[in-house]
Amino acid sequence: MSDIKIYDAIVIGGGVTGSSAGMYAARFNLDVVVYAEQPGGLITTTNLVENYPGIKSITGPDMGMVFMEHAMESGAKFEYDRVSSIEKTELNGKQVFKLLVGTAEKEVFAWTVVLATGTKHKYLGAPGEKEYSAKGVTYCALCDAAFFKEKIVVVVGGGDSAAIDANILAQHVKKVYVLVRKGEMRAEPVNIKRIQANPKVEILYNTEVAEIQGDGEKVTQLLLKDGKTLAVDGVFVAIGWTPMSELAKQVGADLDERGEVIITREAETNVPGFYAAGDVTNAKFKQAIIGAAEGVYASVAAYNYIQGNVR
């Protein structure tokens, strides 16, 4: 068993949070590998990032790549593969984490793990959503806006993601309806002002989707819960995110009622050696700068754990 390779730290997630964790771990001279199933992370599906201090404006894809490049130049290794499971075990009388990676489920071992898997989009759950997925129903305005040039579309959601998506879509389409379930939007004021000032955008408050309808090949209209219909060519769902915390659950980390990993201010979980950072956690403010900071905290905690329990 002594010839088994054991990394000092494994970071799961290749976004801003994971790259920050990998960069700092490498600067601490830890042997660290970052598993990045989505290189650059969810930020790469964002059009513009304009609220990261010190960087006035940068595209999401560029930001994701800049963080990855910094981590790699610092010495972190990146593997573009998926971690399918994780468990605690013992080697040579000490606790380690065993991960299964890729379709071949290769066994990889580490003294510490940083979970930075972020979130995935929530589904609307309306009839017709699955049937017309990729036939007019989509979850990424930046990815798919160009396919709806001069079309009529709706964005379903009342938060910041919905407002940003509406602004992106207005650059391509003829008309954007924003369907807000409540009587007001919860987006940043600057983003609300932008869509309110855009003649292509119309916000419909207290409006919910009952069914997404089409001709079998593409979306043609929405049936609303008040019985009215709305003729549209595309439906962009932006109603929030679900934390990708299954791996944390597997090792016994505590989750809150939303499925987010509960962490301390230092990114520690209740499982020694297992840390979490970014949008997968119960941090109240989901922003790139928060994730980057938590990724740093996680690497500091991993370094201290290794010094006290391994070295």
User: Which CATH code fits 6-120+241-309?
Assistant: 3.50.50.60
- How far, in Å, CA of 306 to CA of 300, rounded? 10
Write down the pLDDT at residue 266: 96
4 contacts 91 by C-beta, under 8 angstroms: yes
Superfamily of domain 123-237: FAD/NAD(P)-binding domain (3.50.50.60)
Structure tokens at 28: 């601490």
What pLDDT is attached to residue 305? 97
Q: How confident is the model at residue 1 (pLDDT cuts 50, 70, 90)?
A: very low
Q: Domain ranges in the chain?
A: 6-120+241-309, 123-237
CA distance to 192, 193, 246, per residue, from 275 (Å): 36, 38, 14
CA separation for the pair 12, 19 (Å, rounded): 10
Domains 6-120+241-309 and 123-237 share a fold: yes
Contact between 50 and 98 (Cβ < 8 Å) = no
pLDDT in the model for residue 93: 86
Q: Is the pLDDT of residue 285 over 90?
A: no
Q: What are phi and psi of 250, to 5 degrees?
A: -65, -35
pLDDT digits (tens, 9 = 90+) for 173-231: 999 999 999 999 999 999 999 999 999 999 999 999 999 999 999 999 999 999 999 99
CA dihedral 61, 66, 71, 74 (to 10 degrees): 160
Q: Does the structure show a pLDDT above 80 at 121?
A: yes
Whole-structure pTM value: 0.83
CB 245 within 8 A of CB 86: no
- Cα separation values, 218 from 25, 66, 214, 222, Å: 48, 38, 6, 12
Note the pLDDT tens digit of each residue in 30-84: 999 999 999 999 898 887 888 899 999 999 999 999 999 999 999 999 999 999 9
Q: Chain-wide mean pLDDT for the chain?
A: 95
- Span 81-91, average pLDDT: 95
